[in-house]
Amino acid sequence: MIKVIIFFVKILDFFYQRKLLLFIKKNTYFKKIEVLFDVGAHHGETISFFKKNFNFKKIYSFEASPINFNYLKKKNLNNDNIIIENIAFSSKARTMVFKQCKETSSSTFTNINFNSNYFKKKTFFFNKKNFYSNLNIRANTLFNYLRDYKISKIDILKIDTEGHEFEIILGLKKKISIVKFIIFEHHFDNMLKKKYTFSEIHKYLKKKYFKKIFKIKMPLRKTIEYIYENKSL
């Protein structure tokens, strides 16, 4: 039964990704994209999506979970154009508790509301008591990474970190000015106990000269994916 559900979700995700792809391809301001930062790489879905449809000069891909990262490494995506690292990012450098979920795409730094209906649906096929294990992980900031490796531009910053997106954006600090596009998800369900609202992200990005240019609801989820453009570049 669970395999049938996963297959059905994948079909819906295909059409969702197609809409996202068509938007990107039909807009001329995406024609000169060369550098992609993929934060929350999971099993390499974003790498595969962008590698198939665009010609990036450099892709930097980061996965916080050592378990997910080991799976990602087996796909042998590393080459001269793709850098894959087992690094977590946040608003500041610190050691944090990471929840490694059995349903690996749900792994997160964010606290989970076990009483939420969405959590109950997600864990229908799993033992709720053992749904995740805690890992202590040292997080860095994007500001530090960009400074240390002397990276002067990011054309697309994609963030998919299950409720930790705003923390990562805040960790850019003044380096946010070198980012042209930010693609991120925001969960509107109450499963993740985020310490921020979408309104706060929007106001912050607007203050940094970003404008919302696209949004799309993800299938079967109370989650919306957004694209913001830096109008100062």
Q: Tell me the three state secondary structure of residue 168.
A: helix
Residue 112 has what pLDDT? 87
Q: Does the residue 52 lie in any domain?
A: no
Dihedral of CA atoms 52, 56, 58, 62 in degrees, nearest 10, equals -50
Q: Does the residue 51 lie in any domain?
A: no
Q: Does the residue 213 lie in any domain?
A: yes
Q: Does the residue 113 lie in any domain?
A: yes
Q: Does the residue 89 lie in any domain?
A: yes
* CATH number, domain with residue 38: 3.40.50
**pLDDT tens-digit series, residues 150-167:** 999 999 999 999 999 999
The amino acid at residue 229 is E
Percent above pLDDT 90 for the chain: 56
pLDDT (mean) for 94-113: 90
Between the alpha carbon of residue 134 and those of residues 48, 49, 102, 145, 208, the distances in Å are: 29, 30, 12, 25, 35
DSSP 73-126: HHT---SSSEEEE--EE-SSSEEEEEEEESSGGG-BSS-B-TTSHHHHHHTTTS
In this prediction, residue 196 has a pLDDT band, given cuts at 50, 70 and 90, of very high
Residue 130 has what pLDDT? 76
Helix runs in the chain, H state only:
2-26, 45-53, 66-74, 117-122, 142-148, 165-170, 198-207
Residue 23 has what pLDDT? 85
In this prediction, residue 218 has a pLDDT band, given cuts at 50, 70 and 90, of confident
Are 168 and 157 a contacting pair, CB within 8 Å?
no
Residue 78 has what pLDDT? 62
**pLDDT tens-digit series, residues 37-80:** 999 999 888 888 888 888 889 999 999 999 999 888 887 666 77
Domain coverage including residue 173: 19-46+66-192+207-230
Query: What's the number of domains the chain is made of?
Result: 1
pTM, to two decimals: 0.89
Q: Whose CA is closest to 41, among 60, 61, 58, 59?
A: 61
Q: Does the residue 11 lie in any domain?
A: no
**CB-count exposure of residue 179 (10 Å: 0-12, 13-18, 19+):** buried
Q: Does the residue 2 lie in any domain?
A: no
* Residue of 15 and 163 predicted with greater confidence: 163
Residue 127 confidence (pLDDT) above 70: no
Lowest average pLDDT, out of 124-133, 148-157, 189-198, goes to 124-133
Q: Does the residue 1 lie in any domain?
A: no
